[in-house]
Structure formats: structure tokens, C-alpha cells
């Protein structure tokens, strides 16, 4: 009987249940099965499969011991195995913050911060800029080297890039005496975040946010202005509104006329040369030649404070253009020590209907030049805002303008 010497242990080989990805990573448990063989005994019974289920890199699996008939034993090993079954971390990052009302008035950019502590990040979402709109969301995706994915979202993004619009501006009383109040009102439109505030100013513009606060209610802004707090004159009145995103509208202005019915009155007469060397730019009359005279005369006064409209009349004649204007009624008069302004309606010989007019009269005193300027408008026009149909101006000769102090 032959005796066979066997001093060599069996061979134990492990095989994974699948291949890792191209980067050498698994994203879940890996089962290792075994095959055992001996050079003398041949194929031996296989050890039980081993599962690697813990996340980690460079892991090894070991089989149970396998022995041949001669008592030689061996343990199989398989590895390294890299397992990462956890999704990466991803979070949105805004480049700016909304205001207290939750609105942006510039387009925010959402970036994404991605991290993975084991296999590392393979891809992270690109930044996204958010345009105009309400309750918007931006979603980003992250993938780690093992192929695990995660998403994150920046939601509830409100962006309003458009300024509101003041669509109408009005005064409840105009002109207003120093003994009256008037309400300034404004209608507005904002299609996204909505108007939340409004302000007005009289005179110089103090800048957005520095005006007098107005009440905003049901699509209208309003405020009461006390005439007695303003000096007589033609004042610039501006209104603007702001929406929830902080966008300010353009400022819309009208002229606020404040008069003192117990104040001074004005008289004047003489001639000027419209379009001449001492005229304002913009003079325009029929037959204007820049050398012919225009005669005028007027008296305008309040009747000792008993009326809200002044009495008086105005006559203006430019013979070179056969232009003759006669006042019909007066609407208001404001004065200061050197200048008077008044407004009313008039007729023009040879032309149908009525016209509106405004006059600026300057009392130059003893050493200065008196000046007269007449502007004529269509009846539906606003002399404080619209362009004139006719204009005549110049230094006064052959007479004077006097502001009479009471």
C-alpha cells in the first residue's frame, strides 16, 4: 500500500457577489462566497459565505478554516473592500438674505455645499440664480464616489425686481388757503409683493424713506396736509410708494398752491418784447418776430379774505400777431415780497372757446428789473404741469409791477 505525504494546506478563494463601481466602491453590503481545493484531496466543502456590511475602506473578509484529510488547514481572505452606504451631505447656501418681509429685490444665487466623509464627493449641484416670482424653490443634487445620492432644496424664495407704479395723484382741495387742509391721495399698482408704505414731501426731495408717512389702505395712499404750515406759494409736492421687497416707485409730483386770502395783492402794466433779448426761452406767439412790443395790464387781489378766489382782470395784446387775450375768471393768487403768481381762464379774440393761463410777475423794486411772463394753455391742461400753447415774457418797460403789502 502506497503512502502519500501531504504537507500543503488547501487553497481557499473568495468571490464577491458583484463587482464594485469604476472607482472601486460599493454602496451596500457585499457577500463573499468561498471555493476550497486541495492538491491531494481535490475540491473540499466550501465555507459558509461571509457578508461585509459595515461602511469603511480597505476591509477584508476571512472564511472559516478549511482542512484537508492530512490535517492541513487554511483560512481564505478577500479584500480590500470599500463600502460606503451613506448618502453625502448637501445643504443650500444663499448669497444674500431676504428682508424682514421675506422678499428679495435682487436676484439671489443659491449655491450648494456638499461633503462626504468616506468615499468623497463625485458631483455637487451648480449654483442657480433665482429670477422674479413668489414662493420659488431651487433643488440641488449631490453624488458621492460610491454612487449614493442626496438632494436638498432652498424653498419659499420670493423675488420682486419691479418697482411699484403710482397711477394717479390728486388733491382734495386745490388751491388751498392757509386756513384749510387738503388731502393728498395716490393710487398705485404692484403685481407681486404688494405696496406696504407710502410717503410725501413738499419742497426739496429728502430722498426715499425720508418723507412724511402716508396711510396705505385698499390700493390707495393718503395724507392730510395743513395749509397753515406752509408759506403762500406754488410748492412742489412729491409722492412715492414702496413694496414689500423694498422697491421704491418713481416719484410723482404735482404743484400744491397755497394762498393767503388776507395777504398782498399785485398790479402791473406796461410792455415787453416777447422773444427778445430779455425774454425767457420758449416764447411762442402768432407772428412772433422778437422785436415787436406786447402791451399788458392787470390787477389781482383777494377781497379782504372774504373769498377763496381772487378778483381782478388781465389784458394782453400783441398787435404784430393780432393776438388779444382777456381774462374771464381768476383761480388763485400767491405772493411773496418780490414775486406774484396767479392763474385763471381767458378768451382769445378770433379763437373759439376758453383757455387757461398763468402769470408770473416780478417786482424788481427800485433797482431791479420788473418782469412779466404769460403762459397760455388748453382749457383741459394743467398750467403747473403741462406745456404751454403760447408764451410771452420779458423785462417790463413803459410801466411797472407792484406787489402791494397789506
pLDDT tens-digit readout, 237-283: 999 999 999 999 999 998 888 888 888 899 999 999 999 999 999 99
pLDDT of residue 40: 87
Judge whether 264 and 406 are in contact, CB under 8 Å.
yes
pLDDT tens-digit readout, 109-150: 999 999 999 999 999 999 999 999 999 999 999 999 999 999
pLDDT of residue 7: 83
Edge-to-edge strand order for the sheet containing 233-243? 176-177, 252-259, 233-243, 195-202, 212-213
The mean pLDDT value of the chain amounts to 94
- Label residue 306 by pLDDT band (50, 70, 90): low
pLDDT of residue 4: 67
- Label residue 45 by pLDDT band (50, 70, 90): very high
Q: pTM of the predicted model, to two decimals?
A: 0.74
6: pLDDT strictly greater than 80: no
- The residue that leads in pLDDT, 91 or 235, is 91
pLDDT tens-digit readout, 365-405: 888 899 999 999 999 998 988 899 999 999 999 999 999 88
Amino acid at each position: 500500500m502506497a503512502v502519500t505525504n501531504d504537507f500543503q494546506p488547501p487553497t481557499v478563494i473568495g468571490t464577491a457577489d458583484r463587482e464594485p463601481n469604476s472607482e472601486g466602491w460599493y454602496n451596500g453590503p457585499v457577500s463573499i462566497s468561498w471555493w476550497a481545493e486541495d492538491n491531494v484531496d481535490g475540491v473540499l466543502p466550501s465555507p459558509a459565505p461571509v457578508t461585509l456590511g459595515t461602511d469603511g475602506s480597505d476591509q477584508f473578509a476571512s472564511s472559516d478554516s478549511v482542512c484537508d484529510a492530512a490535517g492541513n488547514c487554511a483560512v481564505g481572505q478577500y479584500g480590500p473592500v470599500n463600502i460606503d452606504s451613506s448618502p453625502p451631505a448637501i445643504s443650500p447656501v444663499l448669497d444674500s438674505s431676504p428682508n424682514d418681509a421675506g422678499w428679495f429685490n435682487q436676484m439671489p444665487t443659491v449655491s450648494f455645499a456638499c461633503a462626504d466623509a468616506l468615499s468623497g464627493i463625485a458631483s455637487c449641484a451648480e449654483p442657480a440664480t433665482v429670477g422674479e416670482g413668489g414662493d420659488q424653490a431651487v433643488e440641488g443634487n449631490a453624488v458621492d464616489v460610491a454612487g449614493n445620492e442626496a438632494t436638498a432644496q432652498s424653498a419659499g424664495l420670493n423675488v420682486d425686481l419691479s418697482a411699484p407704479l403710482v397711477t394717479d395723484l390728486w388733491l382734495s382741495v386745490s388751491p388751498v388757503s392757509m386756513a384749510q387742509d387738503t388731502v393728498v391721495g395716490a393710487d398705485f399698482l404692484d403685481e407681486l409683493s404688494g405696496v406696504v408704505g407710502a410717503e410725501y414731501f413738499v419742497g426739496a426731495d429728502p430722498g426715499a424713506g425720508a418723507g412724511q408717512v402716508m396711510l396705505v389702505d385698499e390700493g390707495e395712499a393718503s395724507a392730510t396736509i395743513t395749509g397753515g404750515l406752509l408759506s403762500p406759494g406754488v410748492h412742489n409736492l412729491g409722492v412715492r410708494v414702496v413694496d414689500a421687497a423694498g422697491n421704491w416707485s418713481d416719484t410723482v409730483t404735482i404743484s400744491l398752491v397755497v394762498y393767503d386770502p388776507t395777504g398782498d395783492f399785485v398790479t402791473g402794466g406796461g410792455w415787453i418784447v416777447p422773444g427778445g433779448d430779455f425774454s425767457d426761452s420758449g416764447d411762442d406767439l402768432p407772428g412772433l418776430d422778437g422785436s415787436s412790443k406786447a402791451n399788458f395790464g392787470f390787477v389781482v387781489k383777494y377781497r379782504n379774505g372774504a373769498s377763496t378766489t381772487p378778483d381782478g382782470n388781465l389784458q394782453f395784446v400783441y398787435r404784430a400777431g393780432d393776438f388779444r387775450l382777456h381774462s374771464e375768471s381768476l383761480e388763485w393768487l400767491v405772493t411773496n415780497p418780490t414775486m406774484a403768481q396767479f392763474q385763471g381762464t381767458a378768451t382769445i379774440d378770433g379763437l373759439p372757446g376758453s383757455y387757461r393761463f398763468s402769470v408770473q410777475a416780478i417786482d424788481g423794486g427800485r433797482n431791479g428789473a420788473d418782469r412779466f411772463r404769460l403762459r397760455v394753455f388748453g382749457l383741459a391742461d394743467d398750467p403747473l404741469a403741462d406745456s404751454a400753447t403760447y408764451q410771452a415774457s420779458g423785462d417790463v418797460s413803459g410801466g411797472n409791477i407792484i406787489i402791494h403789502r397789506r
